Structure 1
Amino acid sequence: MRFNEVESDGDLAWLFTRRACMHCTEAGCVKVCPTKAVFHHDLGFVAYDKDKCTGCGYCVEACPFDVPRLDGSRLTGKAKMNKCIFCIDRVTSGLEPACVKTCPPGALDFGERDAMVAKGQARVAELGGDARLYGEEELDGLHVLYVVNHSLKDHKLPVNPEVSPSVTLWQDILQPVGYGVVGVVAGGLLLNYMVARARMVKAKEGK
């Protein structure tokens, strides 16, 4: 959780914001992961397979919310990405995520996204004023929604989160080209081996 103390109408307001994966529909981490260790689960959230993670750190750089963290060192090749995985073991068993289950004041809720959007909008209408529902449209819709009644800056949430153009460039152009180059090099090496092998066989037959 992230805590921020702000002044509001002469009083101090304590703002608590859950700081974890936002499970974006348009997820930069999914786009840049070269091993597909980070992926969209069928239920919509962003999951990851730690065994496939190489610790490259691309996901850390691509996240507009600065969420993923690397445990270990990139230099040793033993680093692994770590983030909220929506309690995949509980959710796929029909249970609530642990954070929702254990939240004492019931500030967290869990359910189908459409139902959560409707509930969030109802809460915004109840609060009135500057209250708004964050995550309904950002990055094509987040799977973690916030009802906020202070500025996004006070909650330390980005106003217009976006996936960097360099991420799209990497996924759509550079990465496929890289795979193509590797394929060409591998094909060239194979062809070179076959030609060299044929020459060796021919030389032996000539003797």
Structure 2
Amino acid sequence: MPFLWPILLILLLPLLLLNLFFQLVTFSFAKLGLTPTGATFLLLFSLFGSLINIPISETRTYVPPEPVGYFRGPVWVYYRPPRVQETILAVNVGGAIVPTVFGFYLLTRTPLVPALLATAIVTVFVHLLARPVPGVGIQVPALLPPLVSALVAILLGGEHAPAIAYISGAFGTLIGADLLNLPKIRSLGAQVVSIGGAGVFDGIFLVSVFAALLA
């Protein structure tokens, strides 16, 4: 029936977009010198690793009483009682560890000075963009870091531009957004803060992959 086609398209669209995303990621890995099989395995390892968070520290913060509401007229102020906020800092395997390990692997096959210089530039840029969001974590605009990483890699990397884009994107985002904001992360009030916690859809992973793709 003709009216079923729009419904079928709506149902299939998320799968088509997800397949397109995986094709782009695999193609990006292939530009970095991996075989199609190696690119697929790395993507699958990142995907399943996104389900694993490794706790690395726990912070306890005293939260004083705070007003949560009042009535007009005779003012009745309601206070949230004092409490101890526990924040667990973790590292996600697929969203942080895999891009970092692969970045170090690329670093052994790439000119060191351009890679480090590009990483420093991206780190400063990402750190200026990063904004702490209470209860969530550190947020960075999605499109700007990969564009900057790709541009810097093209200017500094020459034939090694894709690898330098990946290295600067992964390390620059990790250092600029997360490591330099650790004191802020611990004070955001979230019970668990995971570096790379969104897995293959986290900023560290996406920035590095799409930077290499753009380069």
TM-score in terms of structure 2 length: 0.20
Query: Looking at both structures, which has the greater relative contact order when contacts are Cα pairs under 8 Å and sequence separation is at least 6?
Result: 2
Structure with greater helix percent? 2
Higher strand proportion: 2
